[in-house]
Amino acid sequence: MLLRHRRFFAILGFLLIATPLIWGVVLPDSAGLILKDGRRPTPAPPAPESLARYAAFPGQVDAYLKDHFGLRHAMIRTISSADSIAAGSTGSNPTRLGRRRSDASWFAGLGNARKGSLEKNEGRAEL
């Protein structure tokens, strides 16, 4: 049965890719969720009236769309959580960064190198 229905894969894929567009129209994220990022959501660009504005228009639309696709907040939160789980820490960013470096150095077999580079960064070794 699965083999016979493999041809419907394209429809499922299309629906998945279209979800942010449809969701953004039907149930857009509230402006408050972007305000949580510490900034205002990018406003919709005005229709271009001159040649110079035409050149800038795609960039303005990109910035607007980046703030207004559906499930934006949920997707960004998911990647953030996934990164936290991968880093093996739920602590603050600096805590995670420190731990990450330690793991990275072990992984790359660069334990001594790490010590040297941290010393350099702290100004304890000559650059």
Only one of the segments 3-11, 26-34, 39-47 lies at the binding site for other proteins (rule: CB under 8 A); that segment is 3-11
Instruction: Check binding of 61 to other proteins (CB under 8 A).
Output: yes
Q: Are 74 and 24 in contact (CB under 8 A)?
A: no
User: Which x/- pattern, by CB under 8 A, does the window 4-43 give for other proteins?
Assistant: --xxxxxxxxx-xxx-xx--x-------------------
Residue from 26, 47, 112, 124 binding other proteins (CB under 8 A): 112
* Helical (H) or strand (E) element with 39: none
Measured distance CA(27)–CA(57) in Å, rounded: 26
Measured distance CA(87)–CA(95) in Å, rounded: 10
- Read off the DSSP letter of residue 27: S
Measured distance CA(68)–CA(42) in Å, rounded: 9
The residues of the shown chain that bind other proteins, judged by CB under 8 A, are: 2-3, 6-14, 16-18, 20-21, 24, 54-55, 57-58, 61-62, 65-66, 69, 71-72, 75-76, 78-80, 82-83, 86-87, 97, 100-101, 103-105, 107-108, 110, 112-114, 116-118, 120-121
